[in-house]
Each structure stands twice: as C-alpha cells, then as structure tokens.
Amino acid sequence: MRYERIRGGIAPLCLAALLTGCGQFESLLVLNDNNSSGYGKTSSVITDLKSQTGDKSRLSKQDDPIVFLESAAAYAENQREYETSAKHWAHLASLQPNNMTYIRKLAISLRVLGRHEDAERVLLQALRDQPDNIDLSEEMAKTLIASGRLPDGIGLIQQISARQNIDPARTARLHSAAGVAFDRAEKHAEAQAQYRLALQAQPHNASALNNLGLSQAMTGQLDLAETTLRKALVSPSAGTQVRQNLAMVLSLKGETDEARRLVSRDLPPSLVNQTVGFYGSIADQPDAWNDAATQ
C-alpha cells in the first residue's frame, strides 16, 4: 500500500516541520552528546560571559545602563544572536543577582547555544534561592530535555503539572515540548502520550494538536494526522505552519487540489505547484526525505 511505502521515509520531513513549527520550543531540541553535569559556581558562568561584553554599555546615551543592556539583550535575541544575548543577560545578572528574569533569560540563551551544563548550573543556584519559582523550574525542565536527559526532564514536568493552580497553558506548553523531544528520539508512542496530556490541559491548543498530527504522520497514520491537523487549523491560535503541515499530509495522500489551495494562501503562485509536487513525490522517492531533513 502507498501508506506503507511512505512510512519509512515520512519521519524526517515531518520532524523538520515539527521542529520548525514548535515556536519557543524550537531551541529545546539542541541535543548534546555529553550528558555529564559538573556543578560549578554559577558566578563563574556569569563572570566569564560578562568579561566578554567589554564596556559596551558606555556607548549608551541612556542615563540608566540597565535600560540599554535590556534593550541590547532583547534585540540580540530577536536576531537569534544568542552569544551576544547571553553576554548581556550575564552582565545584567551580575548587576542585579536577585533578578530571576535575568537569570532565566541567561539560561535560555545558554540552552539555545547548546551550553546545557552552564544553563543547568545557573538554574540550580537560582532555584536554591527560590525553590518555588515555577518559571525557573520550567526552564530547568527544558534544559534537562535539551541535554538528552528525558526521564529527568519529564519527571520535573510532572512535578510542575501537579502543583496547585497551575496555569493550563503552561502545562500544555511543557507536555507539548516533551512530546517533540520524544519524537526526535523516535519514541512516537511516548510523544503522542505527552501531546494528549497537553490537550487534557488545553483541548484546543493549536501547538499540541499540530505536533500530535505530525507525530501521527511520522508513524504512517495519515488519515488520523489529517483529522488532527484539521482540528488544529480551526483553533484561534493556529498559524501558517499548521496550514502548511496539513497541506503536506494531504499531498502525501494524493489530495493535491486541496493541498494547492492551502499552500497558495502563504506562497506565491510560482511556488505552489513546486511545493505540492515535492510533497507528493516523497511517496515514490523515499530518498527525498533524507534530502529534506538536511536542509
């Protein structure tokens, strides 16, 4: 059957779409083969990064250098210049060591850079001072998962979700992120269980529905994937990525007319046929999935 032919090759492109569409968790899946955790002093991480910033704050015409550094850090993040943002957040954390927002932002930049051990050290020290800080705990869970320590990360997510009066959006966000990590590890059953936990917290969460649909597609369940992605598409928070992922699944099923209509909402006419044709050709050319995964 056609579904069986594509099943072995569908995973790489669906995973690429999954990683592209997972929003703030995109950086969660920067894995590190070294899972060791040498706990040093957090101050050494901040000091090392601060020393690399030089005296750039002197260039500011602002009376308050904090305002300049915050703006510089936020700008670097928007430009995906995480080395620079980490240096600025470290400088800010050294100026205001009790500001947990600066600590969390520093940890995020370090995680995105793949510096998981440094991010973990920063968070551990902060959590010793504020053990009930749920934002720091959430970032720690992401860091553990990003470093490949899935059981530890999932365990922490369960602890966070079990807290009283937890925000459903946070629960959904964490379980959806865990699902992406499981999918990348080719543990699709576990991934789908995480997405369903996310949907228990927020039944119409577009990100969780999108990720569940792609995970189902990766296991060859294209009809089920289509149904799930259609649910995601009608969610108020659905974005362009959901529509394109549905178009991909429809193309793989041979339903190219509707796929073209969906693709044409976001791409110029010159690219519509090319895109839909590429999706549809994957069923007969499994090697194309490997090419897509490397792009």
Statement to judge: residues 194 and 67 lie in one domain: no
Residue 34 falls inside a structural domain: no
Task: Give percent of the chain with pLDDT exceeding 90.
Answer: 44
Which pLDDT score is estimated for 40? 38
Q: Do residues 212 and 253 both lie within one domain? A: yes
Does residue 281 carry a pLDDT above 90? no
Residue 227's pLDDT band (cuts 50, 70, 90): very high
Same domain assignment for residues 13 and 116: no
Would residue 41 count as lying in a domain? no
Has residue 81 been placed in a domain?
A: yes
Domain span including residue 75: 52-147
- Provide the pLDDT for residue 109: 96
Boundary residue ending a domain (88, 115, 147): 147
The crossing angle, in degrees rounded to 10, of helices 168-184 and 206-218 is 20
**Do 12 and 109 lie in a common domain?**
no
Which of 113, 132, 147 corresponds to the end of one domain? 147
Q: Quick one: 208 and 141 in the same domain? A: no
Higher pLDDT, 231 or 294: 231
Q: 277 lies in a domain?
A: yes
Q: Are residues 276 and 172 part of one domain?
A: yes
Q: For residues 242 and 286, state if they share a domain.
A: yes
pLDDT, one tens digit per residue, over 127-145 is 999 999 999 999 999 999 8
Is there a single domain that holds both residue 137 and residue 163? no
Question: Residues 69-84: what's their mean pLDDT?
Answer: 93
Whether residue 189 is found in the same domain as residue 295: yes
For residues 184 and 246, state if they share a domain: yes
Decide if 208 is inside a domain. yes
Instruction: Report the CATH number at residue 279.
Output: 1.25.40.10
Nearest to 265 by CA among 244, 249, 245: 244
Domain boundary among 99, 129, 147: 147
Higher-pLDDT residue of 131 and 4 is 131
Question: Which pTM value belongs to this model?
Answer: 0.68
Helix locations, 202-294, DSSP H: 206-218, 222-233, 240-252, 256-263, 269-281, 287-294
pLDDT digits (tens, 9 = 90+) for 228-270: 999 999 988 888 888 888 988 988 888 878 888 887 777 777 6
In-domain check, residue 101:
yes
Per residue in 6-65, pLDDT tens?
454 555 555 555 544 433 333 232 222 333 333 334 556 666 665 555 544 444 444 678
What is the structure's pLDDT at 13? 55
Q: Are residues 155 and 143 in the same domain?
A: no
Q: How many domains are contained in the chain?
A: 2
Same domain, 12 and 66: no
Instruction: Write the pLDDT tens digit of every residue in 155-194.
Output: 998 889 888 888 999 999 989 988 988 888 889 999 999 9
The residue to which tokens 């789908």 are assigned: 192
Q: In which band, very low, low, confident or very high, does the pLDDT at 154 lie, cut at 50, 70 and 90?
A: confident
| Residue 31 within a domain | no
Kindly indicate the confidence band of residue 1, based on its pLDDT and cuts at 50, 70 and 90: very low
Where do we find the tokens 């993040």?
77
Let me know if residue 190 belongs to a domain.
yes
| Burial category of 44 from C-beta neighbours within 10 Å (exposed 0-12, middle 13-18, buried 19 and up) | exposed
Give the pLDDT band of residue 215 (cuts 50, 70, 90).
Answer: very high
Taking the CA of residue 180 as centre, how many other CA atoms within 13 Å lie in the half-sphere pointing to its CB?
A: 30
- pLDDT for the residue 38: 34
